Amino acid sequence: MRYVDGGGLTPVARWRREAVRMLAAELFAQQVKPPEVARRLRVSVKFAHRWRQLWRQGGADALLSRGPGGSRCRLAPRCLEKLAGYLEQGPPRTAGRRTRCGRPGGWRR
C-alpha cells in the first residue's frame, strides 16, 4: 500500500501505519463495517473503505507497506555530475552592478 503523501515518512511511521492497517484487517475478518473500523482506529471512513476493498482483493498481505513512496531520479548521469559540480562551487557570483529583474538599465528613479 502506498500513500500519495507517503513521501517523507520515517520507517517507524510507516511501521505504525502498517500496524493500524493490520488491525483493520482483523476487524474486517470479524465482519466489522468500515465506518465502525474508522471510528475504532481513528482514521477517515474513506481510508477504511479503501482498506476493506484491498483486503477483499488480496487479504491482509494487500495492506502491507511497500516501502517509501516517491519516484526515482530521472536525471541522466551527466546531468547529476554537472549538478554536483554546481553544488560544490557554492552560490553563484553576482555582477558588480545591481539591476532589477526584467528591466535593463539598472535602477531608475
More confident of the two residues 65 and 109: 65
Q: 67 Cβ partners below 8 Å, 6+ apart?
A: 14
Q: pLDDT digit string (tens) for 36-82?
A: 999 999 999 999 999 999 999 999 989 888 776 666 777 788 888 88
What is the reported pTM?
A: 0.56
* DSSP-derived secondary structure for 71-98: ------HHHHHHHHHHHHH-SPPPPSS-
With cut-offs at 50, 70 and 90, classify the pLDDT of residue 35.
very high
What is the model's pLDDT at position 97?
Answer: 55
Mean pLDDT to the nearest integer, 87-105: 61
Helix and strand element counts for the chain (H, E): 4, 0
For the chain, the structural domain boundaries read: 1-89
